[in-house]
Amino acid sequence: MKKIITTLLILCALSTDSYAAEQQERISDMKHMADGMGLIMNGLLYNYLDNINAGVKYIQEGVESIHQKGNLKTYLPEDTAYAHKFGEKSLRRIMEYSNELNEAMKAKDLDAALESASLLMRQCNSCHSRVRGW
Amino acid sequence: MQRRDFLRVVGAGATVVAVYPSMIGGTLYADNGQLYKAYEKVQLVDGDGNPIKASSLEAEKTYVFNYPQVAVPCFLINLGEKAENEVKLKSEDGTEYIWSGAVGEDNSIVAYTAICPHQLTHTNKADSFMSYVPRKATTMAYKEGGVIICASHLSAFDPKRGANNLSGPAPQPLASIVLEHAKDDTLWAVAVLGQDKFHDYFKSFKSEFKEQFGGKRKAKKFVSFSVPTVAISEYTKEIIAY
C-alpha cells in the first residue's frame, strides 16, 4: 500500500512539475513577444526604425520558439488545448503581419506600417481573448 | 419629346426598376430603406458551369460561392425548413433593416457572407473557421444546432432569421446575399443586405489574397455573369468547428 501511495505521489509531483514547466515556457514566449510589440509601438511613436526592426525580430523569435515546442495541443493551457488549430492560424497571421510591417518600413510607407502594426496587435489580442480569456 | 411620351418613358423605366431592382447598380433601398447594396445580377452555377437548381440543393448542406467580389466567400444553404419572413435586424452602428426571408419552393434557401463581423474570420481555400452546424449536431458556440458559427471566438448566427447574432462577441448579423429564384428554378445573387465590412476585410488579409488570388487587386475584382457554387468540402481544405 505504501508503495502505491508513494508512486502516486511521485507521479502527481512530476505531472505538476511538468505543467509548471510548460506554463513557464509559455509565459516566457509570450513575454518575449509582448516586449517585441512594445518595441514596435515605441519605434512607431518615436520614429525609431531600430526599435521596429528589433520588435519584429522578437515577435518572430517568439513564434519560432512556440513552433519548436512541437504540438500546440500540449503547449496551450489544458482547458483551451482543443483550440490548437485556432492557435496555429493565429501564429501564421502574426508572421504575415510582422513580415508586412517589415516590408512597409523598407518601403518607408508609414501608413501601411501603422496598419500592419494594428493588425498585429489585433491578432495577438484575438488569440489571448480566446485562449486566456478577457 | 411630347409630354405624354416623356411620361411613358419615365413610367416604363420606373416599372422595370421596381420589378428588377438589380437592373441598376449602386445602393438601392431594402423594404425599410437601409443597408441594401445592389451588384451585378449573377447566376449560381456548379463546378462545370451548369446552373444550380434550387430544388437540387441538399438540405442542411453548405455550399460556397464568391459574391460580389471574387474573394468574398458566401454560404448558400437549404435549411430544410421554412425561414422566417420580414425579420428586423440591427447592425453594429444601430441601423435597423429588414431581412425579407429565404427563397425556394419551401422558403428555405438562404445565403450569407461567410465573414464574421467580429474579427473578420472567414472561409478561404486553406481552411474555414466559419461553418453551418446542422440541427441535430452540437456546437460549443450555442445551445443547439441549426446555426452558423464562427469557431474563432465562438459566435453563433441564426440562418432562419437573417443570420442574426445569437451569441458570442459578434456585434451584428452576418451580411446576407439577396437571392432571386427564377421560374426555371435557377438561383441568382443580386445584392448584399446588411453591414458588410468588405472594406476592413480587404485591408486585413493582403498575404492571403496574394497567395490565393494573385494579389489584392485581383481579389477585389467583381464577379460577373455566373459564379461557381460548390460544397464547402470542395471549396476549402479543412473545416474547423467546435
Which residues from chain B sit within 8 angstroms of residue A129, using beta carbons? Answer: 153, 169
Q: Across the interface, do A126 and B119 touch by the CB < 8 Å criterion?
A: yes
- Average pLDDT for chain B: 91
Considering the domain boundaries, does residue B116 fall inside one? yes
Picking from A11-25, A39-53, B82-96, B98-112, which range would have the lowest pLDDT averaged per residue? A11-25
Nearest to A115 among B203, B208, B240 (CB): B203
Considering the domain boundaries, does residue B3 fall inside one? no
Q: Looking at CA atoms only, how far is residue A15 from chain B in angstroms? A: 28
The residue length of chain B stands at 242
Which H helix or E strand runs over B157? strand B155-158
Q: Looking at CA atoms only, how far is residue A19 from chain B in angstroms? A: 25
Q: Which residues contact B86 (CB under 8 A, 6 or more apart)?
A: B31, B98, B99, B100, B101
At residue A116, does pLDDT exceed 90?
Answer: yes
Q: Across the interface, do A86 and B240 touch by the CB < 8 Å criterion?
A: yes
Supply the DSSP symbol for A59: H
Residue A62: band (very low, low, confident or very high) from pLDDT cuts 50, 70, 90: very high
CA distance A40 to A62: 14
Cα-to-chain-centroid distance, residue A87: 9
Chosen from A84, A94, A114, A126 to mutate, greatest number of chain B CBs within 10 A: A126
- Average pLDDT for chain A: 89
Q: Across the interface, do B242 and A82 touch by the CB < 8 Å criterion?
A: yes
The owner of cell 416604363 is B12
Tally of CA atoms within 13 A in the half-sphere of B18 that contains its CB: 6
Considering the domain boundaries, does residue B226 fall inside one? yes
- Beta-carbon count within 10 A of B198 CB: 19
Chosen from A73, A79, A84, A130 to mutate, greatest number of chain B CBs within 10 A: A130
At residue A7, does pLDDT exceed 90?
Answer: no
Considering the domain boundaries, does residue B4 fall inside one? no
pLDDT one-digit tens code per residue, B50-72: 999 999 999 999 999 999 999 99
Considering the domain boundaries, does residue B242 fall inside one? no
A121 to chain B, any CB pair closer than 8 A? The answer is: no
Parse chain A into domains and list their residue ranges. 2-131
Residue A24: band (very low, low, confident or very high) from pLDDT cuts 50, 70, 90: confident
As a whole number, mean pLDDT of residues B132-157 equals: 97
For chain B, give the percent of residues with pLDDT over 70: 87
Q: Looking at CA atoms only, how far is residue B212 from chain A in angstroms? A: 14
What's the pLDDT at B21? Answer: 47
Residue B10: band (very low, low, confident or very high) from pLDDT cuts 50, 70, 90: low
Cell of B43: 447566376
Model ipTM? Answer: 0.82
At residue B218, does pLDDT exceed 50?
Answer: yes
Considering the domain boundaries, does residue B7 fall inside one? no
Q: Across the interface, do A86 and B208 touch by the CB < 8 Å criterion?
A: no
Q: Which residues contact B161 (CB under 8 A, 6 or more apart)?
A: B83, B84, B87, B89, B99
As a whole number, mean pLDDT of residues B74-93 equals: 97
What's the pLDDT at B9? Answer: 65
Residue A11: band (very low, low, confident or very high) from pLDDT cuts 50, 70, 90: low
Residue A23: band (very low, low, confident or very high) from pLDDT cuts 50, 70, 90: confident
Q: Across the interface, do B207 and A85 touch by the CB < 8 Å criterion?
A: no
Residue A20: band (very low, low, confident or very high) from pLDDT cuts 50, 70, 90: low
As a whole number, mean pLDDT of residues B105-116 equals: 98
What's the pLDDT at A26? Answer: 86
CA distance B207 to B212: 9
CA distance B46 to B60: 17
The residue range of the domain holding B53 is: 21-235
Q: Minimal CA–CA distance to B162: which of B188, B192, B183?
A: B192
In chain A, the largest separation of any two C-alpha atoms, in whole Å, equals 71
Contact indicator for B62, B77 with CB cutoff of 8 Å: yes
Considering the domain boundaries, does residue B16 fall inside one? no
Please state, in angstroms and as integers, the Cα–Cα distance from residue A67 to each residue in A73, A89, B62, B202, following that order.
Answer: 11, 12, 33, 28
CA distance B168 to B76: 22
Please state, in angstroms and as integers, the Cα–Cα distance from residue A24 to each residue in A18, A27, A76, A77, B241, following that order.
Answer: 10, 5, 12, 11, 30
User: Omega of the bond prior to B68 within 30 degrees of 0, cis?
Assistant: yes
Considering the domain boundaries, does residue B12 fall inside one? no
Cell of A8: 502516486
Q: Across the interface, do B153 and A100 touch by the CB < 8 Å criterion?
A: no
Residue A123 burial class via C-beta count within 10 angstroms: exposed 0-12, middle 13-18, buried 19 and up: buried
Residue B23: band (very low, low, confident or very high) from pLDDT cuts 50, 70, 90: very low
Nearest CA in chain A to B208: A96
CATH number of the domain enclosing B139: 2.102.10.10
A75 to chain B, any CB pair closer than 8 A? The answer is: no
Q: Looking at CA atoms only, how far is residue B153 from chain A in angstroms? A: 6
What's the pLDDT at A71? Answer: 86
Which residues from chain B sit within 8 angstroms of residue A119, using beta carbons? Answer: 204
As a whole number, mean pLDDT of residues B154-163 equals: 98
- Domain count along chain B: 1
Specify the CATH class of A2-131 in words.
Answer: mainly alpha
As a whole number, mean pLDDT of residues B37-58 equals: 97
What's the pLDDT at B5? Answer: 72
Q: Minimal CA–CA distance to A99: which of A52, A39, A67, A66?
A: A52
